[in-house]
Structures are given as structure tokens and as C-alpha cells.
Amino acid sequence: MLPTVPLPRRPLHPSDPVRQWYENELGWATVPGSPLRLAAGLRFDVLDVPAEAGVRALRHLGPTSPVALRASGSAPCGDPAARREKWPARHGKRMWLLVAAGSAEELPGLLDWLEWGALALDLTAIGAGGSIEAPLPPGVPDGVPEGSLTTDGAGTDGPGGSGPQGAAVWLRPPEPGCEVEPSLPTLSAVGGGGGAPDLVRLVDTVATQCHRVRLRRACAQPPAYS
């Protein structure tokens, strides 16, 4: 994966503090227009998984690896697979795991190597040309605190405990002033002694949990009668 140079910071109108936080504080590219979206494939790619599967994989991430949560009604933009599927509505919440840029291209081959390629998994990679809804920065109201996600990925309700339908929030927000790349899971971490999380272990765990979620949902469906 080739390293990328962050886009130059640009002056922004003070009435757009969220875009300013992403572009000036983090150096992340945003997509013009509203609602605000973050461009994938430059500083990071994204694994989009059921929250109940993603929460089981958090142990394979570093303490500063960004993770976001969103309701199922908010779809990624610009992803060819998502357009082909017309992004059907899914049950429950979704989790976005930020991974190294270029990982989306590696995912199909990695799933085949891990012997998950033949199964239909509720796992999507968003890379170059795609984008995600920008989660609310830390401190903005209507967010979901990191501790509010339960082990089943359901989250908790109550004041400040859940955002509006389709809203994305940070569970583990990125740190301003820190480069995000060293904290992201990458293939180059396999067998290495560096501090980057291992993408292979992350994908294997996520695929396993996605399969279990799929089986649980299938068993929960009432039997069909002719």
C-alpha cells in the first residue's frame, strides 16, 4: 500500500465547525455538499459490519483505532457493490471499523485465503471512490458514548444515548494532531513487530462473527408455509 500525503488544509467558514474539525484538525478529506461525508481510500478504508459482529473484533484494534457506529438507514456512497445491491435496509446498528487505505481492494482475496469467500457475509469494504457519513465529532450533542454499546451491539437508550435514525457517531474518535495511519489495521502488520493492528486477524474475526449473526437471524425467522 502506497503512503498518501494528506490534503492541504484550507480556510473554512466558522459556521461549518464539523467540516473544519475533519479537514483542519484531522487533515481528512471531505466530500462537497450536505450532509457532510468523509472520503474513503485516501487516509483510510472502512469495514462496514453489523455492530454485534464488530464489537467482538474490537480486541484486535489498537486503543486509538477509530471506530464509528451508525443506524442501518445511512448508506455509504460511491461503492460499486452497494450500488448493485441498492443497499437494502438492514436490521439493527452498523459498525464502521477504519482500516488502512487499500484494504478494500485486498478484502476479496483475503476472504478467499481465509476460506470465507464462498459464503454470503454481511461485510462490506468501502475504499477509493467511496465515502461515509461523517460521524459527529466528540462533544457534539446526540452522540452515543463509547461505553453505551453492549456486547450484542444494541447500544443503550436515554438522553444522549442514541442519535437520530441514520446518524453516525464515534465510539472511538480519532485524535486531533495524531496521524491516523499507524493505528489502522494493515496487511503489513502480519508477522511484523510493529504496533499496527493485524488486518488478517481482524477480518477473520469479523467474518466469523458475521456468519454467526447470519445464522442467528436465519434461526429467528418464522418458518415459511405454503
**pLDDT band for position 217 (cuts 50, 70, 90):** confident
- Is this structure's pTM higher than 0.85? no
In this prediction, residue 194 carries a pLDDT of 57
DSSP letter at 186?
B
Sheet holding 67-71, edge to edge: 124-126, 45-50, 93-99, 67-71, 168-172
The model's pLDDT over 84-131, given as tens digits with 9 standing for 90+, comes to 333 333 446 899 999 999 999 999 999 999 999 998 899 999 999 999
**207, pLDDT greater than 70:** yes
CA angle 36, 42, 46 (to 5 degrees): 70
Sign of CA dihedral 207, 213, 216, 217: negative
pLDDT at 136: 86
Distance (Å, whole) CA 31 – CA 37:
5
* Average model confidence (pLDDT) across the chain: 77
Express each pLDDT in 21-67 by its tens digit: 999 999 999 999 988 999 999 999 999 999 999 998 998 998 899 99
